[in-house]
Amino acid sequence: MSQIGLLFGIYIVGLLFGMLFVQRIAAAYLVSAAFLFGAVFFTLYSLLLLAFRLPYTMTALILFVAAGILILGLLNLIRGTFREITMENNIYPWLLGLAACVAVLIFARNNNLSIATSDSFAYILNGRTLAINGLNPQSAGWLSSFGVMLPVLQASSIALDESYLYALSPLLGITLLATSGVLIYQGAQQYTAQRYLARLIAVVSVLVLGSSNFVIFHTFYVHTNILEAAFLVNAVGGAWLGLAQKKRSWLALSLVAWMGFSLGRPEAPLVALLFLMLMISCNVFPWRIFLALFLPYLIVVSLWLVLLGYLIGSGSTFLTPMRIALFLLAYLGAAVMVLLGEVRWGQRLLSWYPWLLVGGLAFSLVLMFVTRPAHMLESSVSLLTNLFTLSGRWGAIWYGIAILSLLALRQRKLPNERIFAAGIPAFILLVLGLSYLRIPYHANWWDSANRMMLHVLPVWLVYLAVKFYPRWVERVQAAIRRVDRFNSKAGPGPDQVLD
Amino acid sequence: MLKFNSRLWRVAGSLLLGVSWGLAFVARFMGFYDVSRLQKLEMFVVWGVLFGLLWYGLFGWVYQQRAAYAVRGLLLVAGCSGLALVWAGYLLNDPFVLESLPGGSPSAASSILRGLGMLAYSISLSSVVWLLLGSLRLGYRTLQATQLRLGELMRLAFPYLAICTAVILINLVLYRPAEQRDNYQLRRLANNTLEELIRRSPDTTPQLRVYLAYEELYPGATLVASQEGMAAAGLDPAELATKGSAREVVLSAEQFVFPASDLANLPASREIQLGEHDQRFIFIQPGEPSVDQVFLIQIGQRFYFVPRADLPGGENAP
């Protein structure tokens, strides 16, 4: 098996997992996010192998693909989901997804545009080391500072007898663009079934994302950023759709994406926690449902942190036993927070949570500025310089985001908007706050903060693209009512016009 | 007679076309003659299944549109475009096409294979073109029917669309040329080895090239750079830091650099037990490639410089 075969196998496993939701979630989304689901399962499987010192060989990789296809295929058979996908109904997104996946893999194989920096080699080499030595205190220390998913995926290159996974980043890049587009389309469809404009908006928004040189660069750069961006937009977008449409399936898929996001980088569980608490604070589902959905995520991430804590002993650069304990405590807090929605004072507290979150982070940042003004000022100026000048390599994208964000202030409120409206500022404040613990950010594209902005950019774009919709639809409906009122001829009603 | 829409017809047709098109793609695009049997089989299965599925879908689509009508069109387009394809390949000196034509050079078996592949390839390609044209026509009709409904929404969405379009154009027209001059522009790699990736990556060339041959000799080695080690190797960590290459440098007061004369005490490289967490290896190449290359080897808290020639495979290797 080559890496093309493995990545395709991971995609198929993700696809079969997605198929389980075909009755409730649009096939286009399941098809475009399939690689992310497969990658999460592959990471968990690999971690099990490495933790128990089982041989990480070609046989193990083939076993993953074969067992994944068999188990998920059987589950699909039992649930009768294959019957949903027939020639006359719903087959084309699946065929298109398969073809697109193969096309991207073949393109990457024939046009290896990979680019690497010292970080990239660290990810590749430590991944390869992991495949040989398994999880030990040294590798655990490193993983706790750099994240686990990319090294684990790169570790498979040893079993595949290849140098590194050059096709991984392109696949993630395309996944990011495709899922962002589908999420925008799905979000817009909540307000109107008018498909053409929703498609146009989705395509234009994806082109905005894809035209930025920094995004193109990351599609071939061996690093965690494109991976984290893909997982975050699916996690946040899926969560918002789940809450807005009151669909548990969206939430379940979102939590798989949160799992992948949390395993991607060391600071990611913290970001995930902020967003998860925002989800809980919306208080849409009864606590039993929330808890049942959250528990697998909480258990997996907590187990990983406990395993890291056990292996690294006194601690690593980023994680110490104390910090791990704090993380676990915060996760426990999130689980308890679910119960708050059941009591009146808890509901009030939950409604204040976005303000508490953003306010708390802003206040912390003010304190940081007071205690280390030069340090924090340098970080802030560097971040802004990177976003709005050539040094960050973004192009004009942040100017566009800034203008659209200003225009969005006049738009109608979206349901459960706090996930975006509080989540995005909280993310940025957190990124700035993290500089307090390290050397200041600097004005160069490879700066951590600049790269981390890639994580939140697709989320922001999805938010803005959907944000304008309610007012557009409202105006069109008003215009139609006016026409109906004054026109004696029978014209199409609002429902017909917007169908 | 078998009905066109029968499942058997669809499955058999899909299987046949999937296999032949899979074969054609493998032969045409994936260096069929240069890879191992296992890879051939793998490529064949992946492509065969994929195109089989695509064909299955295509048959369904054709059935939904009026079958007989569609098949006639399909065959007509297939024949014409197949001929056009061969002719274009001939004009463009495509070796794949040239060798498949009478008088070409390959063996009889591969010629038949290529011929079959060409046929399936041209039929399939032309049917995709046909499918695309059909979709465009359908799309145009739908657009005509919904023009009035779209107009109103388009007018309202204009600011959003205009801003997005401006961003796209600025990115592509103004920023793209500036990026072309950047050191970190994308370059196509000739092969997929780590060595080439290291060689072509601006961040690691020529200041710091980590891990070249050693990882191949000793898989499991981990990399770390020491500031002292870099300085001793003639590299200026401060300069590297400004270029962003020294971010991986691990600073430790307990690191010692031994002169090359102490290397006699170093255990033979092949005897070093790898997999231990306190053993790390790094390769530093100072200056231009013409400068002597050295390995910096860390064992525990000690660092050793080893001339490349002394390493396994080098000129002075034990």
pLDDT above 80 for A37: yes
Looking at residue B219, what is its pLDDT? 46
Q: What is the ipTM of this complex?
A: 0.86
Give A446's contacts in chain B (Cβ within 8 Å): 203, 244
Alpha-carbon gap: A234 to the closest alpha carbon of chain B (Å): 22
**Band of residue B89 on the pLDDT scale cut at 50, 70, 90:** low
Tell me, rounded to whole angstroms, the distance of Cα A116 from its chain centroid. 23
Residue-wise pLDDT for A254-283, tens only, equals 999 999 999 999 889 989 999 988 988 888
Cβ–Cβ gap B152/A113 under 8 Å: no
Highest-pLDDT range among A493-497, B153-157, B311-315 = B153-157
Distances (CA, A) of B255 to B285, B295, B301: 20, 16, 6
Cβ–Cβ gap A5/B42 under 8 Å: yes
Tokens 């990319």 sit at which residue?
A150
Least CA distance to B187: which residue of chain A? A113
Looking at residue A294, what is its pLDDT? 85
Give A461's contacts in chain B (Cβ within 8 Å): none
Question: Which residue has better confidence, B80 or A413?
Answer: A413
C-beta separation of A90 from A31 below 8 A: no
- Phi/psi-derived region of residue B267, left when phi > 0, alpha when psi is between -120 and 50, beta in every other case: beta
**Band of residue A165 on the pLDDT scale cut at 50, 70, 90:** very high
pLDDT above 50 for B243: no
Looking at residue B207, what is its pLDDT? 31
Pairing between β-strand B225-226 and β-strand B279-284 as defined by DSSP bridges? unpaired
A8 inside 8 A of chain B by CB: yes
Alpha-carbon gap: B146 to the closest alpha carbon of chain A (Å): 9
Question: Which residue has better confidence, B307 or A411?
Answer: A411
Looking at residue A353, what is its pLDDT? 87
Per the prediction, chain A carries an average pLDDT of 86
Find the CB nearest A98 among B50, B166, B192: B50
Question: Which residue has better confidence, B16 or A150?
Answer: A150
**What residues of chain A, 478 to 497, have a C-beta less than 8 Å from chain B?**
479, 497
Residue-wise pLDDT for B24-68, tens only, equals 555 555 544 455 555 555 555 666 666 666 666 665 555 555 554
**Band of residue B204 on the pLDDT scale cut at 50, 70, 90:** very low
Give mean pLDDT, residues B136-141: 63
A156 inside 8 A of chain B by CB: no
**Band of residue A146 on the pLDDT scale cut at 50, 70, 90:** confident
Alpha-carbon gap: B201 to the closest alpha carbon of chain A (Å): 6
pLDDT above 60 for B86: no
Query: Which contiguous run of DSSP H or E holds residue B225?
Result: strand B225-226
B145 inside 8 A of chain A by CB: no
Find the CB nearest A115 among B157, B184, B193: B184
Q: Which of A42-46, A217-221, A225-229, A334-338 has the lowest mean pLDDT?
A: A334-338
Question: Which residue has better confidence, A380 or B42?
Answer: A380
A403 inside 8 A of chain B by CB: yes
Give mean pLDDT, residues A211-215: 91
- Residue of B197, B210, B245, B282 to mutate for A, most A C-beta atoms under 10 A: B197
Alpha-carbon gap: B171 to the closest alpha carbon of chain A (Å): 5
B201 inside 8 A of chain A by CB: yes
- Residue of B146, B153, B201, B211 to mutate for A, most A C-beta atoms under 10 A: B153
- Give the separation between CA A165 and CA A120, rounded to whole angstroms: 11
Question: Which residue has better confidence, B248 or A7?
Answer: A7
Highest-pLDDT range among A221-235, A402-416, B195-209 = A221-235
Give A216's contacts in chain B (Cβ within 8 Å): 186
Closest CA to B1 of B61, B72, B73, B68: B68
Alpha-carbon gap: A168 to the closest alpha carbon of chain B (Å): 13
**Band of residue A429 on the pLDDT scale cut at 50, 70, 90:** very high
Give A112's contacts in chain B (Cβ within 8 Å): 188-189, 191-192
Closest CA to A69 of B21, B45, B7, B22: B45
Cβ–Cβ gap A407/B192 under 8 Å: no
**Band of residue A288 on the pLDDT scale cut at 50, 70, 90:** confident
Give mean pLDDT, residues A99-120: 86
Give B187's contacts in chain A (Cβ within 8 Å): 113, 115
B182 inside 8 A of chain A by CB: yes
Looking at residue A194, what is its pLDDT? 67
**What residues of chain B, 288 to 317, have a C-beta less than 8 Å from chain A?**
none
Cβ–Cβ gap B57/A196 under 8 Å: no
Highest-pLDDT range among A33-47, A383-397, B84-98, B104-118 = A33-47
Question: Which residue has better confidence, B153 or B246?
Answer: B153
Residue A118 neighbours by CB under 8 Å, 6+ apart: B203, B204, B208, B210, B245, B247, B248
Amino acid at A95: L
Q: Which of A416-420, B13-17, B105-109 has the lowest mean pLDDT?
A: B105-109
Distances (CA, A) of A351 to A236, A421, A467, B47: 19, 14, 21, 53
Work out the angle between the directed axes of helices A448-467 and A225-245 (0-180°, nearest 10).
Answer: 30
Cβ–Cβ gap B248/A119 under 8 Å: yes
B16 inside 8 A of chain A by CB: no
Q: Which neighbouring-strand residues pair with B298? A: B280, B303
B238 inside 8 A of chain A by CB: no
For the stretch A402-405, contacts whose Cβ atoms lie closer than 8 Å and that sit 24 or more positions apart, written own/partner, are A403/B163, A404/A464, A404/B160, A404/B163, A405/A460, A405/A464
**Band of residue A415 on the pLDDT scale cut at 50, 70, 90:** confident
pLDDT above 50 for B1: no
B162 inside 8 A of chain A by CB: no
Alpha-carbon gap: A125 to the closest alpha carbon of chain B (Å): 7
Looking at residue A120, what is its pLDDT? 84
Closest CA to B121 of B24, B265, B254: B24
A162 inside 8 A of chain B by CB: yes
Cβ–Cβ gap A208/B201 under 8 Å: no
Give mean pLDDT, residues A281-302: 85
Highest-pLDDT range among A24-33, A139-148, A329-338, B8-17 = A24-33
Cβ–Cβ gap B171/A138 under 8 Å: no
Alpha-carbon gap: B256 to the closest alpha carbon of chain A (Å): 21
Looking at residue B76, what is its pLDDT? 52
pLDDT above 50 for A454: yes
Residue-wise pLDDT for B156-181, tens only, equals 677 888 888 889 988 887 777 766 66
**Band of residue A293 on the pLDDT scale cut at 50, 70, 90:** confident
Instruction: State phi, psi for B279 to the nearest 5 degrees.
Output: -115, 125
Cβ–Cβ gap A121/B211 under 8 Å: yes
Cβ–Cβ gap A446/B187 under 8 Å: no
Give B189's contacts in chain A (Cβ within 8 Å): 112-114, 166
**Band of residue A132 on the pLDDT scale cut at 50, 70, 90:** confident
- Residue of B138, B160, B182 to mutate for A, most A C-beta atoms under 10 A: B160
Alpha-carbon gap: A330 to the closest alpha carbon of chain B (Å): 31
pLDDT > 90: percent of chain A: 42
What are the structure tokens assigned to A403, written together?
Answer: 């203008």
**Band of residue A43 on the pLDDT scale cut at 50, 70, 90:** very high
**Band of residue B260 on the pLDDT scale cut at 50, 70, 90:** very low
pLDDT above 90 for B210: no
**What residues of chain A, 323 to 382, have a C-beta less than 8 Å from chain B?**
none
**What residues of chain A, 238 to 277, have a C-beta less than 8 Å from chain B?**
none
Question: Which residue has better confidence, A44 or B127?
Answer: A44
